[in-house]
């Protein structure tokens, strides 16, 4: 006899269906397969092997070929016995594993979703859900019925940064169908790095660009307890404030000293290189760098 079962499934085998002259008064015994277990359902007639059904269950995660034998004997004296072999093919079921990747804001990323999966069929289907903050596209590699070589391209929505997710489902084409599902997590990184200011100021050039020391994200709630300090090349503090704000002209640096150490209050600072320390005020590490003031 032969039978087919999916991995981690079970199959009932009517072993006597193709046999001849099976006694209605006798016994049926089985050997143990190498990679599974078998049980006998005697149909409520323990001495009648003609209606017996054998159930085969593969060991967890096993796939491949397994065998066992069964022996039918009548109750004559001496008994007449016959032995046959049952070959069971255990078909692997697809096993998708979650994925994670990163991309910069505004940039696509190609994801080889099946590279870490197991037993992906080369005859089947793949479907994806829509992410909340982007779009996905499936490149089937020119083999529309073979999900094993598919690549998914994720595109974040304009202006989005943060974490986005979608799921994919892979199914084979067996009857019944075997499917597996996994989640893909994408971390979209902002290219406007918070607290990393542009290091050129031109407060006296008459245009609206670089008129003050612009610090990205400084007005976010998590930085409400910030402090900013600016020094000249001799290490003297020329500007210091708590609660720096790009939105409040009284709380941002526009090239005017606010009176620290040897620098007079409201004095316009000369052209040159200065140095800054930005303390986020929330436990994050302070950021330091240089700033050039031009006319």
Nearest to 242 by CA among 268, 285, 278, 210: 278
Give the domain-ending residue among 168, 189, 210: 189
Return the pLDDT at 247: 87
CB under 8 Å, gap of 24 or more: what pairs does 289-293 form? 289/196, 289/197, 289/199, 290/199, 291/197, 291/199, 291/200, 291/201, 291/213, 291/230, 292/199, 292/200, 292/201, 293/201, 293/202, 293/203, 293/255, 293/269
Return the pLDDT at 120: 93
pTM of the complete model: 0.56
Distances, alpha carbon 31 to alpha carbons 26, 46, 86, 160, in Å: 17, 18, 10, 62
Over the stretch 141-182, which tens digit does the pLDDT of each residue have? 999 999 999 999 999 998 888 889 999 999 999 888 899 999
Return the pLDDT at 216: 86
Beta sheet of 53-58, edge-to-edge order: 11-13, 53-58, 36-41
Return the pLDDT at 129: 98
Give the domain-ending residue among 159, 189, 219: 189
Residue ranges in the chain modelled with pLDDT below 50: 262
Q: What is the CATH number of the domain that holds 116?
A: 2.60.40.60
Return the pLDDT at 191: 66
Over the stretch 32-52, which tens digit does the pLDDT of each residue have? 999 999 999 999 999 999 999
User: To which residue do tokens 């316009």 refer?
Assistant: 268
Number of domains in the chain: 3
Q: What is the CATH number of the domain that holds 260?
A: 2.60.40
Considering just the CA atoms, what is the radius of gyration of the chain in Å? 37
| Domain coverage including residue 255 | 193-294
Give the domain-ending residue among 138, 169, 189: 189
């Amino acid at each position: 006899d032969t039978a087919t079962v999916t991995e981690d499934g079970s199959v009932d085998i009517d072993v006597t269906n193709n046999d001849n002259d099976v006694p209605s008064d006798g016994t049926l015994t089985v050997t143990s397969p190498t990679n599974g277990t078998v049980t006998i359902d005697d149909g409520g007639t323990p001495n009648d092997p003609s209606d017996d059904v054998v159930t085969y269950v593969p060991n967890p995660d096993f796939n491949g070929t397994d065998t066992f034998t069964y022996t039918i004997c009548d109750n004559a004296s001496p008994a007449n016995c016959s032995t046959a072999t049952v070959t069971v093919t255990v078909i692997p079921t697809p096993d998708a594993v979650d994925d994670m990747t990163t991309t910069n804001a505004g940039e696509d990323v190609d994801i080889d979703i099946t590279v870490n999966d197991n037993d992906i069929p080369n005859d089947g289907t793949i479907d994806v859900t829509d992410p909340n903050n982007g779009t996905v596209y499936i490149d089937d590699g020119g083999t529309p019925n073979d999900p094993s070589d598919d690549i998914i391209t994720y595109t974040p929505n304009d202006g989005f940064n943060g974490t986005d997710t979608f799921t994919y489902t892979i199914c084979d084409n067996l009857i019944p169908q075997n499917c597996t599902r996994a989640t893909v997590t994408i971390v979209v990184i902002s290219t406007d790095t918070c607290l990393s200011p542009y290091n050129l100021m031109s407060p006296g050039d008459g245009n609206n660009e670089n008129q003050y020391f612009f610090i990205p994200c400084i007005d976010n709630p998590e930085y409400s307890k910030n402090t900013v300090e600016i020094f000249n090349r001799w290490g003297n503090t020329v500007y210091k404030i708590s609660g720096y704000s790009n939105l409040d002209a009284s709380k941002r640096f526009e090239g005017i000293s606010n009176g620290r150490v040897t620098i007079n209050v409201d004095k316009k600072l000369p052209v040159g290189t200065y140095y800054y320390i930005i303390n986020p005020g929330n436990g994050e590490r302070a950021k330091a760098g240089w700033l050039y003031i031009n006319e």
